[in-house]
Amino acid sequence: MSEYERTAAAFAADLEAADLPSAVRDHVGLVLADTVGAIVGGSTDPDTAALADRFAAETPGEATVLGTAHRLEPRFAALVNGTGGTVLELDEGHKYAAGHPAIHVLPAVLAVGETRDASADEFVAAFVAGYEVCARVARASYPLADGYHPHGIWGAVGAAAGVARLRGCDAETTLTAMRIAANSAQQTLMATATEGATVRNSYAGKANLDGVLAVDLARAGFTGLDDGVARHLARTTGEGFDSAELADGLGERWDVLGGYFKRHAACRYTHPTLDALDDLTADAPIDPEAVASVLVETYPTAAGLTPTRPTNALQAKFSVPYAVATRLLHGTSGRESFADESLSEETFDLAERVEVVVADDIAARLPDTRSSRVTVRFTDGSERTAEVEHARGGAERPWREPELREKFDELVVPLLGDEPTRTLWDAARSGEAAPATLCATARR
């Protein structure tokens, strides 16, 4: 119903940095730092780099592509940064949104904020406004219709809310921008990820572009469909769009506090399985040659990620068997473990010994708990089992800040060097840096 959309739009238009509780402002700094790190780290992806090069040659501008020397028109910088921040599968996500709000909002707000010389407070207010709207639109859309992928479906609405706040739009213009953005919802399929079609990596970037464009259209006088967020997105849902979610808890429940951070460079659905493997190997290593088979019992969505011979890095990141195999063989699950160069017959052979099934007891605990039970069976007839109720990185089992800083350094130091990386972390983590400052520090 349209009153819920209006409430969300008014919240976004009116939000001030001073309205944020101190715990929210502090955590936002972590989200900013983590997301900036993912974008910088992903900027070297060949497809992302080629896209940035093309735009730099054809449409140069004033907005920074993080991790590069390129400056583009804001909408194209938002597209490239959103794509780069997705490609490594290391960006922040949210369990109840069943997706990744930060990477659907930050690139748009950062690009527009840099070119408008926004203050730190304006930037933070815009990011939080966009994140809170984005997460609620995602909740309202859950569960998506069978086969849909959350990237690119609802993110443009959050990006539009954030950019509208940054541009000082009133509630009515913000509402119009959100409705126009919903009209741009992409018909994204999970098959692009599980089959390795890399257009999937552009979905969040495209949502950021659409969010910037939606605000431009609204400010120019274009109008959106009444109740447009619900009416456009209802087609993508499995059980109908729950409009009441759009206004639920605004200003009281801060969804940005409920997100998760990733250190395994793969789809979040693989993480409880990888954490269970970490538990199994914590006390005694596992010799891959001694493994007869591995049984993974988990929830339905995770159990659907079953390619055993992925053809590229993207498909590998959406394969539980491959994730298990590369972790057992290499002892890590970082970006290198899922890179194209790491795909090997040795890993495929071990992945083919991994069986992934739905466990009814685990499925019954959804959506609050996303668990995995892993049993490694050895050639001598023995076996070892571990179960993880919550993957690491979420509110239930958060990473310590030094662990997130270590991840940031791993992604950023190879491109920017030690001292610029320290400066960039400090600026983003503080939540007190203007977007122009962040972008200048993240530029090569």
Indicate whether 332 pLDDT > 70: yes
Indicate if the pLDDT at residue 87 is higher than 80.
Answer: yes
C-alpha to C-alpha distance for 127 and 166, rounded to whole angstroms: 9
Confidence class for position 2, pLDDT limits 50, 70, 90: confident
Looking at residue 1, what is its pLDDT? 53
Sign of CA dihedral 266, 272, 273, 275: positive
Residue 5: CB atoms within 10 A of its CB come to: 26
Work out the average pLDDT over 169-174: 99
Split at pLDDT 50, 70, 90, the class of 216 is very high
Question: Given this model, what pLDDT does residue 283 score?
Answer: 82
Q: Which domains does the chain have, with CATH numbers?
A: 2-263+405-441 (1.10.4100.10), 268-388 (3.30.1330.120)
CA distance 404 to 36: 12
Confidence of residue 181 (pLDDT cuts 50, 70, 90): very high
DSSP states of 428-440 as a string? Answer: HHHT-S-HHHHHH
Nearest partner of 9 among 123, 122, 140, 157, judged by Cα: 157
Mean pLDDT computed over 120-125: 99
Using alpha carbons, select from 323, 271, 272, 229 the residue that is nearest to residue 5.
229
Give the separation between CA 337 and CA 269, rounded to whole angstroms: 17
Q: Which residues contact 126 (CB under 8 A, 6 or more apart)?
A: 109, 113, 118, 162, 163, 165, 166
User: What is the Cα–Cα distance from 234 to 224, expressed in whole angstroms?
Assistant: 16
Q: Average pLDDT of 32-59? A: 98
Residue 415, pLDDT above cutoff 80 = yes
Q: Find the mean pLDDT for residues 310-336.
A: 97
The per-residue pLDDT for range 237-271, each reduced to its tens digit, is 999 999 999 999 999 999 999 999 999 999 999 99
> Model confidence at 331, in pLDDT bands (50, 70, 90)?
very high
Query: Which one, of 122, 60, 114, 54, lies nearest residue 83 by Cα?
Result: 54
Chain position carrying tokens 């991994």 = 354
Q: What average pLDDT does this structure show over 342-354?
A: 97
